[in-house]
Amino acid sequence: MALWSEATEADAVGGVPARFVAAPASTQEAAAVLAAAARDDLAVVVRGGGSKLDWGMPPRRLDLIVDTRLLTGVVEHAAGDLILVVRAGTPLAALELAGQQLALDTPLPGATVGGTVAVNTSGPRRQFYGTARDLLIGITVVRPDGRVTHAGGKVVKNVAGYDLGKLVCGSEGRLALIARVSLRLHPLPAAAATLVVETDDPAGVVRALRRSQLQPSALDVHHPGRVAVLFEGREGAVAEQMDAARALVGGGPGDASVWEEARGRQARALGRLAFAPRDLGNVLSTLTEAVVRPAAGIAYVPHRVGGVPPAAARRLQRALKARLDPEGVLT
């Protein structure tokens, strides 16, 4: 039986208070909760770690928060197949996989697996490994009417027809409650090294690196004036790539604190700007501060669009033909 309670002051989404909170401990309990909510016409929001509840527009009304904190634990770790099946409420930080990794960097403390899939968040290593959407191979969801639906499976090539998992990934919980996911894993790299390039022309450095034969796991611009590059793999291969990168663009070795700082800046960002990768130079010339993922065409900025001076906003629109992020983060 799911745990039901009256909501407290802490149970609000975008400033909208909830009336009740339910915490199911299984997919079947989650289905019963949503079926009851649908029968009584309750407005529902699903909550994982609560690290991204303020993203997007607040709900018009909020009767019930369905909390996934009890939907936790690894269901299966098929190490030989590099597959992980895990319940949605499991914190990303709690996953311990001997010799393997779920290659999802998250800048948001307390983020759960289900919440990460629901908003398709990612960190610096999306350059090589992709986002949650790329690593998702199977999903179990509970629809708003309480029906349980499965899609995908436990092998990488398993989808015939429409891929429901890809639809749910990035939907921010609007379409269904994510109960369980199957994810592709990667081996832990034997070695890793970071190159830091301090430069007045970060766009030129990025262009040179992307046109080369190098294969970084992460390539970020920490604006203003810094490019950070992460190489992972066999020890000899990492050393060779570092030497080649330094010969190409200069710079020197850095450590993991470079990426921790970038993740912290991303977590504190109030806006997310999408742009065409070819417009990187225009983005950097217009913004004064940002964490930029050039290959993904995303800049995390410390203000909303409304906080940009009008003249600067007009320059952004002309230079980039800027558009709102699909997640509605920018207002």
| List of domains in the chain | 1-188 (3.30.465.10), 191-320 (no CATH)
The amino acid at residue 163 is D
Q: For residue 221, what pLDDT is reported?
A: 96
Query: Which one is predicted more confidently, 290 or 172?
Result: 290
Q: Where are the beta strands (DSSP E) in the chain?
A: 3-6, 12-13, 16-17, 20-23, 44-47, 64-67, 74-78, 83-87, 100-101, 136-142, 148-152, 177-184, 186-187, 191-198, 218-223, 226-233, 252-254, 271-274, 290-293, 298-301
- Backbone φ, ψ for residue 273 (5° rounding): -105, 130
CA–CA distance, 21 with 44 (Å, rounded to integer): 10
Percent residues over pLDDT 90 in the chain: 58
Q: For residue 124, is pLDDT > 80? A: yes
Helical H segments across 79-168, by residue range = 113-119, 126-129, 132-135, 164-168
**What does the block give as tokens for 294?**
């050039």
Packed helices 202-211 and 235-249: angle between N→C axes, nearest 10 degrees: 130
Predicted confidence at residue 180, as pLDDT, reads: 96
Distances (CA, A) of 184 to 101, 135, 138, 156: 9, 5, 9, 7
pLDDT digits (tens, 9 = 90+) for 107-122: 677 889 999 999 888 8
| Res 245 pLDDT > 90 | yes
pTM above 0.85, yes or no: no
Q: Is the peptide bond before 144 cis (omega within 30 degrees of 0)?
A: no
Q: What is the DSSP string of 100-119?
A: EE-----SSTT-BHHHHHHH
For residue 327, which of 216, 219, 173, 128 has the smallest C-alpha distance?
173
Secondary structure letter of residue 128 according to DSSP: H
Which pair of structure tokens corresponds to residue 306?
């409304």
Furthest C-alpha separation in the chain = 66
Kindly report the length of the chain: 331
Residues forming a β-bridge with 271: 301
- What integer pLDDT is reported at residue 327 of this predicted model? 43
What is the rounded distance in angstroms from the CA atom of residue 103 to the CA atom of residue 187? Answer: 9
The token pair at 331 is 């207002």
Per-residue pLDDT of 278-313, as tens digits, reads 999 988 998 889 999 999 899 988 876 444 444 444
Asked whether the predicted pLDDT for residue 126 surpasses 60, the reply is: yes
